[in-house]
Structure 1
Amino acid sequence: MDTRKKSKLSVALLCLLIGFPQISESIFTPILPTLSNALNVTDSNIQLTVSIYFIGFALGVLIWGILSDKYGRKPIMLLGLLIYLLGNIFLLCSNDFHSIGPIIGAQLETHFHYMSVFLFLIALATILLILNFVKLPETNLLKVDYSTKDIIAVVLRLLKDRFVLLNAFAIAVFNAILFNFYSEAPFNFINNLKLSTGAYNTGILIALGTITGAYVVNSLAVKTSSFDVIRLGISIAVAFSIFSIFTFANANIFMIYISIFGIFLGINIALPVILKTSLYAYEDVIGIASGIFGFMYYCMIGVLTFIMSVIHTGNILVFPIYTLALAIGLSVLILINKKF
């Protein structure tokens, strides 16, 4: 295999690995109402699976990052995929248990049994495990073994940095809105608006918001300050959050779709800039800092999605009101701190 073919394969494998967590995070959300009925648990309890997922994700970001620096990225990647595969096999055998995911999940649940979602994830994890074992190169040739003292020093440095804490909260809010929508949408669109599981494919709206947001960011990058781009994104998210309350209240599906697109357009204008600027002062310890930073905002996401499960009542207005509260709270904090 020549260098060009190897490069294409590496890029394709990298794209699969990047998209894998997003698919995993969202693929089972369309079947939440079905799971709630099948397992005879409340809607709020079934939504807790989303929060638990992010707590586990937070621990994974922290632990796997440090271990990959010490032992290499390929063996840790393979171990993580193996644990993920075993977890899905356990779910499939148990009787008690970010845009393309909901589409796949909805279609699987519509045309097959809801457990086919876990079969799909098992197959995907198996394919990735084999591809990574055979084709993934080791990119961490210089192993680093961080001492406990090194890790504690970076943790304290991050916790004292108000800019980093604000960015972590902003990232958490944006992701919480996304995954609160994923967890609430099946109940709103299926139970309240009486759409079938396969008919409410809002993942397309989120994808369009992501693509359009990326285009806007690229267009503004040269001539607009980071703070102004972030402020624009949050303003759009707040405006469409207000609009969404009226569209959900009137049960106008077309206008609901527009409001959802607008919310995620705003998020995808602001979020990339925040991610880009968050750790610019931590290049000297970027490996540890990235892991700890990810742990911080994934824990926050877990808390914010937990609140969504607690306040879930089945009322169609709960999601848009909570989204507006998060967006307004974040906009106030961003406006107070203009260090971008």
Structure 2
Amino acid sequence: MQRKISKPSLLLLIVLVGFPQMSETMYTPSLPDIARHLGASNNVIQLTLSVYFLGFAIGVFCWGRLSDSIGRRPAMLWGILVYGLGSFGCYLANSADWLMACRCIQAFGASTGSVVTQTMLRESYDAAKRHALFAQISAALAFTPALGPLIGGWIDQALGFKAVFFVLVLISIVLLSYAWNALPETRVTIPANIRISSVAKRLLTDSRIWAYGCLIGAANGVLFSYYAEAPFIFIEYFHMNPGVYGFFGIFVALSSIGGAMLSKKWTSRRGPQSMILTGSFIAALGALCLLCLTLSGMQASAGTLTGMVICTFILLLGIGMSLPNCLSLALTRYGDVLGTAGAIFGLGYYLIISLITSGMSLLHNGSLATMPLYFLGLTAAMVLISRWLAKTATA
């Protein structure tokens, strides 16, 4: 069965792929308050971010697979509904265990915004247009993690952290209404029964898929480990209130936006593989500068704060240059099984993100040097992997 494809608007794609990231970061300014209110350690509360990505990984597989059988639009609508139920559970949570369980449900539903949206984008546009759209969406997405703390910080300061989760419930209602009225079905054909085992075997034996999965996992792992650790650095070490911290994140997000825009501008001339390598190198340089600054023995001063912002800017600029090209190139060889391949691939790299953010939670010890040292190791690995990809692409 085949029909003419209907393309979703860029605005709708940005909204649908962006709300999971906002859900991930909107409550981060409240992490110290949540730890005190629930009587849990900072390390345990940070794990609520890692659990989010665990639920996200499982959801990516389930919704990606389901979108092949019931369609992209129904999978998106059901996922948003589950996300809303999970958000309401977070609002009711009165213990760290309950909060983690509901965060997992929330993430399971939210993951449809990532995997189904990317599938719709890949099947709706040709390669040249897709590279540009991924860069535009990445630029917009660089803002959503920063918008989350900005909104969440002021809500927490005014009404408490419970209100943050209630706002996420309201967002789910608005999203469901928007998607119901504006989201078209982009699946061109109803695929034959696709064997998961055969697609998984193709992916698992593809060394380039492993490379792209590690790059995407590491890039996002750095980004969300930053959002896990930063509230304790800026709120507890530099004594910012949650509202100011949330506003402060806007300046940091400009780096990711700048990186994505540079990627859009230069990819057509230099090629996506070159942009991945360049971005990885810039990210590693930023992590090295950040580590040197934190090891210099400087105290909690305006100078230290400014230096950390500049180094983080360089780090996330590189992430913003690499990530959209990795996402665009990863599944170019899997057009015949795009939904299922995207589901399995997403499961893999979100598990990597979960492991990386868990590592940040376990390493948290109150030292300013812990985060940059961790990031230096991750970005150095990105440089090595991207160099290998560049060599194999020209071989």
TM over 0.5: yes
Q: 2:47 aligned with 1:61, yes or no?
A: no
Which of 376, 379, 383 is residue 327 of structure 1 equivalent to? 379
3-state secondary structure, aligned to 2:242: coil
What is the aligned partner in structure 2 of residue 294 from structure 1? 346
Structure 2 segments unaligned to the other structure (5+ residues): 1-5, 100-144
What is the aligned partner in structure 2 of residue 139 from structure 1? 186
Q: 2:286 aligned with 1:240, yes or no?
A: yes
Do 1:30 and 1:182's aligned partners in 2 also have CA atoms closer than 8 Å? no
Rounded Cα–Cα distance in structure 2 between residues aligned with 1:141 and 1:220: 32
Rounded Cα–Cα distance in structure 1 between residues aligned with 2:336 and 2:315: 36
What letter matches 2:166 in structure 1?
L
Q: 2:243 aligned with 1:190, yes or no?
A: no
Which of 268, 285, 288 is residue 222 of structure 1 equivalent to? 268
Shift of 1:20: 0.9
Superposition pairs of residues 122-271 of structure 1, within 5 angstroms: 122-140=169-187, 142-144=189-191, 146-147=193-194, 150-200=195-245, 201-249=247-295, 250=298, 251=300, 252-271=304-323
Do 2:283 and 2:379's aligned partners in 1 also have CA atoms closer than 8 Å? yes
Rounded Cα–Cα distance in structure 2 between residues aligned with 1:74 and 1:228: 35
Rounded Cα–Cα distance in structure 1 between residues aligned with 2:15 and 2:157: 25
Change (3 A) 1:225 1:94: closer
What letter matches 2:70 in structure 1?
Y
Do 1:176 and 1:305's aligned partners in 2 also have CA atoms closer than 8 Å? yes
What is the CA deviation profile of residues 260-280 of structure 1, one whole-angstrom value per residue up to 9, with x for unaligned ones? 111110111111222222122
What is the aligned partner in structure 2 of residue 79 from structure 1? 78
What letter matches 1:115 in structure 2?
K
What is the aligned partner in structure 1 of residue 363 from structure 2? 311
Shift of 1:80: 1.1
> In terms of mean alpha carbon deviation, does 296-305 or 213-222 score higher?
213-222
Change (3 A) 1:164 1:206: farther
3-state secondary structure, aligned to 1:177: helix
Rounded Cα–Cα distance in structure 1 between residues aligned with 2:91 and 2:272: 45
Rounded Cα–Cα distance in structure 2 between residues aligned with 1:44 and 1:132: 36
Rounded Cα–Cα distance in structure 1 between residues aligned with 2:260 and 2:47: 31
3-state secondary structure, aligned to 1:195: coil
Aligned-residue CA RMSD (Å): 2.0
3-state secondary structure, aligned to 1:199: helix
Do 1:202 and 1:257's aligned partners in 2 also have CA atoms closer than 8 Å? no
TM-score (norm 1): 0.91
3-state secondary structure, aligned to 2:392: coil
What letter matches 1:242 in structure 2?
L
> In terms of mean alpha carbon deviation, does 134-143 or 37-46 score higher?
134-143
Change (3 A) 1:94 1:223: closer
Which of 156, 162, 173 is residue 115 of structure 1 equivalent to? 162
Rounded Cα–Cα distance in structure 2 between residues aligned with 1:89 and 1:68: 25
Rounded Cα–Cα distance in structure 2 between residues aligned with 1:262 and 1:195: 23
Rounded Cα–Cα distance in structure 2 between residues aligned with 1:267 and 1:74: 30
Shift of 1:126: 0.9
What letter matches 1:42 in structure 2?
S
Q: 2:392 aligned with 1:339, yes or no?
A: yes
Shift of 1:335: 2.5
> In terms of mean alpha carbon deviation, does 156-165 or 284-293 score higher?
284-293
Do 1:101 and 1:203's aligned partners in 2 also have CA atoms closer than 8 Å? no
- Once the two structures are aligned, what percentage of the paired residues are identical? 35
State how many pairs are aligned.
332
Shift of 1:248: 3.4
Do 2:57 and 2:350's aligned partners in 1 also have CA atoms closer than 8 Å? yes
Rounded Cα–Cα distance in structure 2 between residues aligned with 1:21 and 1:14: 12
Shift of 1:141: 6.0
Do 1:205 and 1:260's aligned partners in 2 also have CA atoms closer than 8 Å? no
Shift of 1:286: 1.8
